[in-house]
Structure 1
Amino acid sequence: MKLMTLNTHSLVEPDYASKTRKFAQVIQKELPDIVALQEVNQSQSASVLPDVMLPGYVRCIGFDRQIRSDNYAMILAEILRGMDCYYYWTWISAKTGYGKYDEGMALLTRKPIERIRQHLISRTDDYENWKTRKMLGVQVQGCPDWFFTVHMGWWNDEEEPFRGQWDSMEEFFRSYRKKDSTIWLMGDFNSPDNVKGQGYELVCNSGWQDSWKAAETKDEGFTVEKEIDGWRDSDTGKAEQKTDRMRLDYIFSSEKRKILTSEVICNGKKYPVVSDHCGVMITTGQKMPDKQN
């Protein structure tokens, strides 16, 4: 089974249309079973598209915002279809981003989506507050595992600290932990693994497996190699501990699983740069099952 995650930076990214096509080419070549995306935007001023005009789209129950004509996930899925590469997809937004976008997250799946869940992880549920955070998860046909995409806040944020969001997630996941299934948690955690006593250690100490650490074959793992939005001192009002090169993007599993490879992608070495983050792709020792047990 192959899993991929990327903070896309989406419509904010310079030359995003060209970079979206390049990312679609990566997906077409690698054919991941699940693609988890963060910072997936659409312009609030763009025209609305009815769901019936969106091949492969599955709406999350309880999410009522309409897909608009420049939605990044929709365009990515559309480009892939033009390459004869078909993915199902779902999307939610959590907040207004940069004053003009519906900003959220998406999941693309090779198998049909059977179940979708969203969950508010921040204290605030104010759509106009940029610190509002949600996560999105799916279960696909024939597989008992759950796959979630998440974009978390910072450890030192006084209003929306990482610990509070993680506690909310852990409470939510209690009902999803099953003996014969795994929760895969993918995304931008805004928490470097080289800073002691903060978010990364909290996740690992909560019993989650870092796929990069567990991988039999892996690279250096760095997913950010320059200063980015959210990591300037002015973004949080308080400087975070950081280095020039950081691991901020992870794929965690609720159970220990065999991980064959973990690779950073879209870093200019393995595939072109398409965002201010690099992506992560792992190959596990299990196959996507044909049917549930």
Structure 2
Amino acid sequence: MKLLTLNTHSLEESGMPEKQAAFAKAVTRFRPDVIALQEVNQHRNAAAVPMPEGYVPAQQAVVLRRDNHGLAVARLLEQEGLHYQWSWLPAKVGYDKYDEGLALFSRKPVLETADLLVSRTDDYFNYRTRRLLGIRTEDGWFFTVHMSWWNDPQEPFARQWETLLDLLPKDGPVYLMGDFNGDAQVSGQTYDLVKASGFCDTYDLAQTKDEGWTVQGVIDGWRDQAAVPARRIDQIWARHPVTVRSSRVVFNGAEEPVISDHFGILTELQPEEEH
């Protein structure tokens, strides 16, 4: 099973149509079973469009708009002959102009969806509001994650993590994929708390892997942090022990072009029956 995650920084990037096309081309090569995307945006004043075939709602009141990044990706993948079911969940207003949300794509049928509010803040116009989008397939639950920073004065990561643990499904495999907004190199904070909660870092378990850096230099949300050459803030975690064949950074300018201010992660798990 292949898992792909990327914080897309969508619609804020220059050359979005070209970057969306490059993403779809790479996905046809990767053929991930589940894709988790964050910062999946649409302009709030764009025209609404009908719900397309293959879309599975997590909220009944969701309005898809013409320039929705998830919709653009879904259409491009269809053009490439890849058929995914997908869902998009708006979480808050971003950059004062977007419905900023989360998206999940699955090659297998989506059996159930979940919308988890993990922040105490539940104000669509407050950037501190944090939600998780989840889907269940025959392989388990998959959640796309965009969490707060460890030391946020109003919405610290540790409190959101405690809420998340209470809300997660109690049975079966659970995978958390996305932007944890916590550098794995920093001891005693986000990374160590997730690991201490019994989750397995697929990067740590991978039989083959690269350096793992998912951001380089200064990016939005980290402008007031100490400058470091690179960070590993995007991660894929499993709630149960798994055998991980490989983990590699993608869309970092090596084998694929840079298409966001984050790089992505492509992880391949060994099927359970081969363990």
- TM-score of the two chains, using structure 1 as the length reference: 0.91
Counterparts of 1:39 and 1:158, CA distance in 2: 22
Query: Map of 1:66-215 to 2, 5 A cutoff?
Result: 66-140=63-137, 143-173=138-168, 176-178=169-171, 181-215=172-206
Query: For this pair of structures, how many residues does the alignment match?
Result: 273
Which stretches in structure 2 are left out of the alignment for 5+ residues?
none
AA at the equivalent of 2:170: R
AA at the equivalent of 1:20: Q
Secondary structure of 1:201's aligned partner: helix
Q: Residue 29 of structure 2 aligns with which residue? A: 29
Matched, 1:59 2:57: yes
Deviation of 1:14 after TM superposition, in Å, equals 1.6
Q: Residue 251 of structure 1 aligns with which residue? A: 236
Pairwise CA RMSD of aligned residues? Answer: 1.2
Counterparts of 2:127 and 2:36, CA distance in 1: 21
1:240-274 residue CA offsets vs partner (Å, 9 max, x unmatched)? 45522000000000011000000000000121111
Please identify runs of 4+ aligned residues in structure 1 that moved more than 4 A.
Answer: none
1:219·1:262 contact (CA, 8 Å) conserved in 2?
yes
Counterparts of 2:96 and 2:86, CA distance in 1: 26
% identical equivalent positions: 44
Q: Residue 265 of structure 1 aligns with which residue? A: 250
Secondary structure of 2:46's aligned partner: coil
Secondary structure of 2:216's aligned partner: coil
Secondary structure of 2:231's aligned partner: coil
- TM-score of the two chains, using structure 2 as the length reference: 0.97
Q: Compared with structure 1, are the counterparts of its residues 41 and 268 closer, same or farther at alpha carbon in structure 2 (3 Å cutoff)?
A: same
Secondary structure of 2:260's aligned partner: coil
1:173-204 residue CA offsets vs partner (Å, 9 max, x unmatched)? 2xx232xx310000000100111111111001
Counterparts of 1:14 and 1:154, CA distance in 2: 26
